[in-house]
Amino acid sequence: MNDAVWVLTLAAAVSAGTPLVFAAVGEILAEKSGVLNLGVEGMMLLGAVTAFLAAAASGSPLVGLLAGTLAGGGLAVVHAFLSVTMRANQIVSGLALVIFGTGLATFLGNPIEGDPLKPGIVDLRIPILADIPVVGRILFDQDPLVYASWLVVALAAFYMTRTRTGLALRACGESPETADAMGLSVARLRYVHVIVGGLLAGAGGAYQILARVPSWSGAGTTAGIGWIALALVVFAAWRPWRALLGAYLFGAALAANFALQAAGVDAIPAEFLSMLPYLLTILVLVILSASSARKRLGAPAALGVPYAREER
């Protein structure tokens, strides 16, 4: 193993970007149905702590992953109920979800703070492909969840563009009146996709603790990547494949700190490098927040708007 630092950095970027892939694809599905769920960070944290507890108790990282995934989905049910059934303001509800999820996760994680997690996820080297120079090391010498995230992206992209329900999903986010008039259940579509979004965010959180960070460290476990995932959705223009690329770009920003230090570059203080992904997030959001840009990028037209059949 004598790979160059930059190859190792890119490999680390893929791994660092993987929680973002899960969370962003999940958020894309929710937003495509017209529901903005700002609670990603809360769902990821709850997913992470649940994954830790389940994995530690069962000794199986797979059980941990499943538990974390379900925890994220469970929290999303709350958001779906508030924003679809109660037609609450989605921004307020989403922020509440972050606060609630963070609080609950911190509470649950109190006893395990700092404990190392024994059964982590083991890398799975894909034969032949991993032997390709450079690319092999970056892409095919990773853990199974990295490969699973590609599957999720591919499935989401196919589902959205090529299936009947995917069409219904997009209609629901673009024009719920039309979906309703054409005999589709807007509420059901929104519930399902918000919950699936939560499951994926939970999976992202689980991945973070199972494969990325050495131990539970409260809100620092996810360190704001839920917010990055939200920015990523806009950056990716609600397209799963672009979200994958974007996730790796942000992953590179997250991994750059380590790489530059390893390479002996100390002209920039490490603290500044740690800010990089967040600065990138702010930059992306500032550029994209102009409403004209939003429209051009293809934000679902009814995003964030509760739907009620018009009863005057």
- Bridge partners of 221, per DSSP, are none
Interacting residue with other proteins among 165, 262, 272, 293 (CB under 8 A): 165
DSSP 39-82: THHHHHHHHHHHHHHHHHHHS-HHHHHHHHHHHHHHHHHHHHII
Instruction: State which residue, 97 or 169, has the beta carbon closest to other proteins.
Output: 169
Q: Is 254 in the site for other proteins (CB under 8 A)?
A: no
Q: Is 309 in the site for other proteins (CB under 8 A)?
A: yes
Residues 277-296 that bind other proteins (CB under 8 A): 292
Q: What is the closest distance, in whole angstroms, from the C-beta atom of residue 166 to other proteins in the complex? A: 7
In this structure, what token pair is assigned to residue 136?
């092999």
Buried b / exposed e over 236-267, threshold 16 CB at 10 Å, is bbbbbebbbbbbbbbbbbbbbbbbbeeeeeee
How many residues bind other proteins (CB under 8 A)? The answer is: 26
Q: Which stretch binds other proteins (CB under 8 A): 47-55, 135-143, 174-182, 239-247?
A: 174-182
d(CA 103, CA 107): 6
Q: What is the closest distance, in whole angstroms, from the C-beta atom of residue 311 to other proteins in the complex? A: 7
Build a one-symbol-per-residue string for 211-230: x at contacts with other proteins by CB under 8 A, - elsewhere. --------------------
Q: Is 189 in the site for other proteins (CB under 8 A)?
A: no
Q: Which stretch binds other proteins (CB under 8 A): 62-70, 115-123, 181-189, 259-267?
A: 181-189
* CA-based radius of gyration for the chain: 19
- Bridge partners of 219, per DSSP, are 217
Q: Is 179 in the site for other proteins (CB under 8 A)?
A: yes
- Bridge partners of 217, per DSSP, are 219
3-state secondary structure of 7: helix
Instruction: State which residue, 46 or 168, has the beta carbon closest to other proteins.
Output: 168
- Bridge partners of 125, per DSSP, are 141
Q: Which stretch binds other proteins (CB under 8 A): 106-114, 140-148, 180-188, 257-265?
A: 180-188
Q: Is 177 in the site for other proteins (CB under 8 A)?
A: yes
Q: What is the closest distance, in whole angstroms, from the C-beta atom of residue 161 to other proteins in the complex? A: 8
Q: What is the closest distance, in whole angstroms, from the C-beta atom of residue 309 to other proteins in the complex? A: 7
Instruction: State which residue, 115 or 177, has the beta carbon closest to other proteins.
Output: 177
> 27 and 239 in contact (C-beta within 8 Å)?
no
Q: What separation, in Å, do the N-terminal and C-terminal C-alpha atoms of the chain show?
A: 69
Residues 43-102 that bind other proteins (CB under 8 A): none
Reported as type and span, the H/E element at residue 86 is: none
Give the angle 2-10-250 at the CA atoms, nearest 5°.
160
- Could you list the residues that contact other proteins (CB under 8 A)? 161-168, 170-171, 174-175, 177-184, 292, 298, 301, 309, 311-312
